[in-house]
Amino acid sequence: MRNNEKGFTLIELLVVIAIIGILVAVVFVSLDPATRFKQARDAVRQNDVQEILSSILLYQVDNNGSHLAAVSGTTAGSVYMIVDGSMAAGCDDNNAACDTAVTGDTTCADLSGLVDQYLEDVPVGPAGSVTWDDGSANGEEGTGYTLERETNGVIRIRACESEDTDEIIASR
pLDDT in tens, 144-164: 899 999 999 999 999 988 888
Query: Phi and psi dihedrals of 39, rounded to 5?
Result: -65, -40
Question: What's the pLDDT at 139?
Answer: 45
Question: What's the pLDDT at 2?
Answer: 59
Statement: residue 134 has pLDDT above 50: no
Question: What's the pLDDT at 136?
Answer: 45
| pTM exceeding the 0.75 threshold for the entire prediction | yes
In the chain, where the domains are located:
32-171
Question: Which of 98, 122, 99 has the alpha carbon at shortest distance from 112?
Answer: 122
pLDDT in tens, 48-95: 999 999 999 999 999 999 999 999 999 999 999 898 877 655 565 555
pLDDT in tens, 21-38: 999 999 888 888 888 889
Q: Measured in Å, how far apart are the chain's first and last C-alpha atoms?
A: 85
